[in-house]
Amino acid sequence: MPYTELLAPIKSFLHCETPDAWVKEAIQPENFSMLLLDHLVCELKAAQSAMYLIRKYAIDKESGDALLALLQPFERFIYKREGDWRELVVKNKLTKSVIPKSNTPYGQDLIDKMVLLIKEELHHFYQVLEMMDHYGVEYKSITPSRYAKGMFKHVITHEPDTLIDKLICGAYIEARSCERFAKIAPHVDKRLGDFYISLLRSEARHYQDYLALAQSISPVDISARIEYFGKVEAALILTSDSNFKFHSGVPTENDDDPI
């Protein structure tokens, strides 16, 4: 595969591969809509998380509030079902020029990396909407998976360790996304498969950016925390999970399934 080299560092970073049972479940026709819907929500959540980091750690409240307004058209579509999704492509206006320079030691690096990530995640959000339109999948609210919550509940509650841990969690989420896009791409039609493959390079860079930020902020080596969260993440992926989503664990069998 042409993306094998790209995936090699991700596979060595993650503590486990996605189980075949998840892939088998993911490609079932009845789960097609759920995968697209959850992918859509994940793109917005990734942008929101990056925006939160900029607002909390790099700029003042006034600037943060102005920045937050840039996400509102996307959030209104998801949470209130307001607006035409086709208009969102022109709403992705975030640039580094609209954010004041940071006074914190690591703030500008955080801004530079997170702005690029937000721009890309919102672009992907729009692309997923295009896919949903193509396949006739209507947007509807879905329940969240346990995955991100299961990661973030292990975050230390004092700074700068809180920020460092959140960045490490972000790295694992992005790396797992990349690995799963590659896992399911060969099993879907060419249009969707090509889309998933097109996402691999940016997802791979995002996880590296998160890790680089985390290490640059930490006064000590973060290898132990990376290892710790790697085990947490793998446990979420390898244990049974009744709520099938893009980042869910091993699907639990339905009691009605034939033996």
Examine residue 259 and state whether it is found in any structural domain, yes or no. no
CB-hemisphere CA count at 13 Å for 144? 9
What local confidence, expressed as pLDDT, does residue 257 receive?
Answer: 34
40 touches 77 (CB < 8 A): no
Map 12-37 to HEC letters: HHCCCCCCHHHHHHHCCHHHHHHHHH
In a domain, 253, yes or no: no
Note the pLDDT of residue 256.
Answer: 37
| pLDDT reported for residue 1 | 52
> Would you give the end-to-end CA distance of the chain in angstroms?
36
Task: Tell me, yes or no, whether 29 lies in a domain.
Answer: yes
Q: Considering its fold, how many domains does the chain have in total?
A: 1
**228 in a structural domain:** yes
The SS3 assignment for 83 reads coil
Q: What is the pLDDT of residue 98?
A: 66
CATH number at residue 201: 1.20.1260.10
- Which contiguous run of DSSP H or E holds residue 250? strand 250-251
Question: Can you give the pLDDT at residue 107?
Answer: 86
Specify whether the CB–CB gap between 40 and 139 falls below 8 A. Answer: yes
Answer yes or no: is 247 within a domain.
no
Note whether residue 248 is domain-resident: no
User: How far is C-alpha 97 from the chain's CA centre?
Assistant: 25
Give the C-alpha distances (Å, rounded to integers) separating 205 from 29, 174, 208. Answer: 31, 9, 5
Q: Which residues contact 257 (CB under 8 A, 6 or more apart)?
A: none
Residue 257 lies in a domain: no
From first to last of its 259 residues, what are the pLDDT tens digits of the chain? 567 888 999 999 999 999 999 999 999 999 999 999 999 999 999 999 999 999 999 888 888 888 888 899 999 999 988 888 888 887 777 777 667 777 778 888 998 899 889 999 999 999 999 999 999 999 999 999 999 999 999 999 999 999 999 999 999 999 999 999 999 999 999 999 999 999 998 888 899 999 999 999 999 999 999 999 999 999 999 999 999 999 999 998 653 333 2
Tokens of 42: 């994940």
- Determine the structural domain holding residue 66 and report its residue range: 4-241
pTM of the predicted model, to two decimals?
0.92
- Residue 258 in domain: no
